[in-house]
Structure 1
């Protein structure tokens, strides 16, 4: 049942009117609700917007042209989550998206299969070298992946499941031999630039690895620990192979309905247009929520699937958590660095060097590792890049309903675009948009003449549209000090929080962002297992 005016339980009913209330109908909130609902719990989801989906909520950005939301492809959907919730998100077997890397000078390097099983446009020796590196990174990402499907271990409270996971990871390394074990420990916190240079010669391939490792993160390829971002990307699977990415059948507009269907099938009630004004808590325990209109809804469990800062700085009485915890929450680094561009085009663009079918894949403009690093440098000082790197897809090729007949939509993630722009985005946005359109014109000559409308969402716009503090779609930096037992902070790293009965389930919780469903699914499993810290 999805409704903006579904009848609420009266505040005078018993505290068991609902077994759980979930705040936020993004994909993680719906995943948590579906898992709880399938266990027989009575679950209510409250969404402030007029439609579910969170950042995957579609919108019309020009007459007749629609965007499917912030994400424009899937690279981290967890197959166990998909199976358990019965998600109808799939791609045609064997159709992992190709990735074309453009440098404007040479023919594109086109990676096919799961992250470059074959590569067009490079020498056989370079393709083989990339294959060796890909296999090594995929193996290492697989070791880390074992820790993504369960709450992070809590210091001083290591359980049997934690020991089992650690032992399985250790056995995985042992089976590969001592040399691979040493290499894993050597590379774990390295920067992606050093790793790429160790294996590769082709600037385009090094540029791709650098881009993929740092997209959405305030790091450059030479920043320490930047390889972690690439591990994150490689935890995704397509056809059981690591590193693949895809647009599901029906396009990205199918993402939110798939999670919604799973929740509704589990008997979950979803109310849209229902903004939460306050989480009810008394002497360290929650008992429900108060909506912005003053109505009270009660439940012994409240699951917040929105940004941790939005939860604790705006919905919870500070007296319930303490100054130390609030200080840690305030200092979660969550300033976004990526702008989202949606273009309405009168016809499909033609990127130089690409065949027609490769336009349906992922197009990356990252000439080299140096290009990515130099694009990052201005962001350190509050300036946008004058030569940004970007990832492009043409969503209407997968979902014709996004554009009128014969027309096309283009979606691009453009990096680097810092949240705290020194000159301010009100004046900076037109200049940055011109830079991006000029780059697109160089790689797809004539595209400028086909632009019907352009919609650029800066991190400030993303913050306002999706209630994401800092405009960071991962709800906080994916860096070593904000992962595992530190995500979002040490006192709330295992989904439980200092308030009994209040849990976190957004990308701000372990294991972070991307369309994976893991944060919500893990949180629900933790609640069903007893929910203690």
Structure 2
């Protein structure tokens, strides 16, 4: 069989769908191919026990741009929120807690000096995050700056930096490459506050709070929060899958064709140019443009083939670091658990177990030796507090991100996962006594499980480490940093590309812009 489209997008995650939607709105005939039976990639909702549903990987929105929600009219396509501007509650085993409200003001429990310092500090970091956010919609330029668009993008960034003022700009340059441990020690005294903030700087990353570059990853998260605006930290009604379901409906309304259960075996090349794809069932589909939101290795080495790449490119692709350290735990509970120091209303927020920066560092250390943490750091949500339909009446779901779990669990991964689950439950018992007796079913997904189930390279949230050598013009590798591959007609639009992970859609939208620019240049 053969069918012809203007563009074929591989993968119906949020980046692939955003890319397809922008192309369709520009008048292109677009086909989206998804190997799974539902859209969403890692941002989907699934059932893990009878009657219990949960967000598969990330369980909260922290960087969905309000501009995207408005422009694509996602609420008209079914997107709604069970909770927005959610508070964060940092917990201690003795029952004391520190709550940070949606406007990033410190709650009760902080000494006056730290409360004042926190307000000032977050204001400064918000200004830096605004500058960082400018990069999200910017295609990384070539160093030659041959295109006027590239010159304008860099000029816009330089202007934003200059408008910070001399002292703030110097401070940003000072802290940009720092580790978050030292930065927070410079500004605060309260261990619980520092532990909570350091958790955000390392969440989804493959290093601990003492590692250089953790201020960069924190700025990445803060920039996403800035773009989310009044949504703040949000829980979609129906789980994270609701975001991509709304995007899929918007795509359909724009004329995009979506095919599920359609796995791509090869990206076809004719006369040194991408010409379409070959599905695993033998179906051939033609298009002058192919965009892949799959991981770097699966796109270049798996679907394209090394015969179309030079040796240097293959080496860089194979050396791209993409092993994640976040596992995901789902618990089906017969009743609502009680956490020390929190009332029922607070259980609808985000709960952190990261009482100090040293606790976080000690949780990270074993991963360097492919060992599991004895006392893991956790981000916990009880999504059924805000969205009861995710579980049977009166029952609940607990969803937790578990830091830091190595990709390689050694010769007996199942035994390692069993020990990890035991360690997690022991940690939870210290903060929510009796929770073990409420468990009806559990599901623990290691980084390797996340890779296998959702196509996340190495189980890494960003499909590759977000470090200075894999950032902006260096992301993901040389000759592929502008969403264009070395093979004409093949573009890259997933989280492995700038600006990285997070449910924001920027990588997909920037890739669509690159296609449209090239089409204008070539008169297509």
Where does residue 440 of structure 1 map in the other structure?
A: 428
- Structure 2 Cα separation of the partners of residues 225 and 526 of structure 1: 29
Structure 2: runs of 5 or more not aligned:
none
The alignment status of 1:247 with 2:235, answered yes or no, reads yes
2:94 corresponds to 1:105:
yes
**Deviation for aligned residue 1:424:** 3.8
**CA–CA separation in structure 2 for the residues paired with 1:125 and 1:521:** 43
CA–CA separation in structure 2 for the residues paired with 1:486 and 1:466:
25
State whether structure 2 residue 270 is matched by structure 1 residue 286.
no
Residue 163 (1) aligns with residue 151 (2): yes
Number of residue-to-residue matches in the alignment: 518
1:137 maps to: 125
Structure 1 stretch displaced more, 243-252 or 351-360: 243-252
Assess if the C-alpha contact under 8 Å between 2:16 and 2:293 holds in 1: yes
* Distance (whole Å) between structure 2 residues aligned to residue 520 and residue 311 of structure 1: 15
* Aligned residue in 2 for 1:181: 169
Q: Which residue is 1:128 aligned to?
A: 116
Partners of 1:335 and 1:253 in 2: CA distance? 24
Partner residue of 1:519 out of 489, 507, 519:
507
Q: Which moved more, 1:160-169 or 1:275-284?
A: 160-169
- Separation of aligned partners in 2, 1:481 and 1:243: 32
Distance 1:118 1:211 in 2: 16
Matched, 1:362 2:350: yes
**How many angstroms does 1:485 deviate by?**
1.2
Equivalences for residues 348-387 of structure 1 within 5 A: 348-387=336-375
Tell me the distance in 2 between the aligned counterparts of 1:517 and 1:216: 17
Counterpart check, 1:314 vs 2:302: yes
> C-alpha separation between the residues in 2 aligned to 1:420 and 1:178?
46
From the superposition, tell whether residues 248 and 239 of structure 1 become closer, same or farther in structure 2 (CA, over 3 Å).
farther
Matched, 1:29 2:12: no
Distance 2:370 2:26 in 1: 48
Matched residue of 1:142: which SS?
Answer: helix
Report the CA distance shift for 1:106/1:125 in structure 2 as closer, same or farther (over 3 A): farther
After superposition, residues 18-417 of structure 1 pair within 5 angstroms as 18-88=5-75, 89=79, 91=81, 95-105=84-94, 107-114=96-103, 116-237=104-225, 241=229, 244-417=232-405
Q: Which moved more, 1:427-436 or 1:58-67?
A: 58-67
Which residue in the other structure is 1:7 paired with?
none
How big is the alpha-carbon RMSD for the aligned residues of Structure 1 and Structure 2? 1.9
After TM superposition, the structure 1 stretch with the greater mean CA deviation from structure 2, 177-186 or 81-90, is 81-90
Q: CA deviation at 1:493?
A: 0.7
2:468 equivalent to 1:480:
yes
* Deviation of 1:216 (Å): 1.3
CA drift at 1:87:
2.4
Tell me by how many angstroms 1:483 deviates.
1.0
Residues 166 and 394 from structure 1, CA distance in 2 versus in 1: closer, same or farther, beyond 3 angstroms? same
Distance (Å, rounded) in 1 between the aligned partners of 2:457 and 2:335:
36
What is the Cα deviation at residue 83 of structure 1? 2.9
CA 1:332–1:424: 2 relative to 1, 3 Å = farther
Q: d(CA) in 1 for partners of 2:124 and 2:118? A: 10
CA-to-aligned-CA distance 1:360-379 (integer Å, 9 cap, x gap): 11001001111111111111
Q: Could you say what secondary structure the match of 1:146 adopts?
A: helix
TM-score by length of structure 1 reads 0.93
| Distance in 2 (alpha carbons) for counterparts of 1:223 and 1:358 | 32
Asked if the contact 1:425–1:458 (Cα under 8 Å) also holds between the matched residues in 2, the reply is: no
Query: CA-to-partner distance for each residue in 1:443-486, whole Å, 9 max, x for gaps?
Result: 11111111000100001111110122311121111111111112
Selected match of 2:483 from 495, 505, 509: 495
2:447 to 450, 459, 462: 459
CA contact (8 A) 1:151 1:494 kept: yes
- TM-superposed CA distance for 1:243, in Å, is 10
- Say if 1:496 and 1:502, in contact at 8 Å, map to a contact too: yes
Distance 1:243 1:527 in 2: 30
Task: Look up the SS of the partner of 1:491 in the other structure.
Answer: coil
Correspondence for 2:498: 510
SS at match of 2:372: coil
The residue matched to 1:83 in structure 2 has which SS?
Answer: helix
- Normalising by structure 2, what TM-score? 0.95
Q: Deviation string for 1:487-526 (max 9, x for gaps)?
A: 1111111100001110111101111001011111111111
Once structures 1 and 2 are overlaid, which stretch shifts more, 260-269 or 153-162?
A: 153-162
**Separation in 2 of the partners of 1:238 and 1:478?**
19
Please give the per-residue CA displacement for 1:327-362, whole angstroms capped at 9, x wherever unaligned: 111111111101000100011111110121111110
Kindly state the Cα deviation for residue 398 of structure 1 after the two structures are TM-superposed: 2.7
SS in 2 for 1:470: coil
Deviation at 1:97, TM superposition (A): 0.7
Shift of 1:314: 0.8
CA-CA distance at 1:253 after TM superposition: 3.7
* CA gap 1:410/1:185 in 2 versus in 1, 3 angstroms: same
- Name the CA distance, whole Å, in 2 between partners of 1:136 and 1:245: 20
- Check the 8 A contact 1:109/1:122 in 2, yes or no: yes
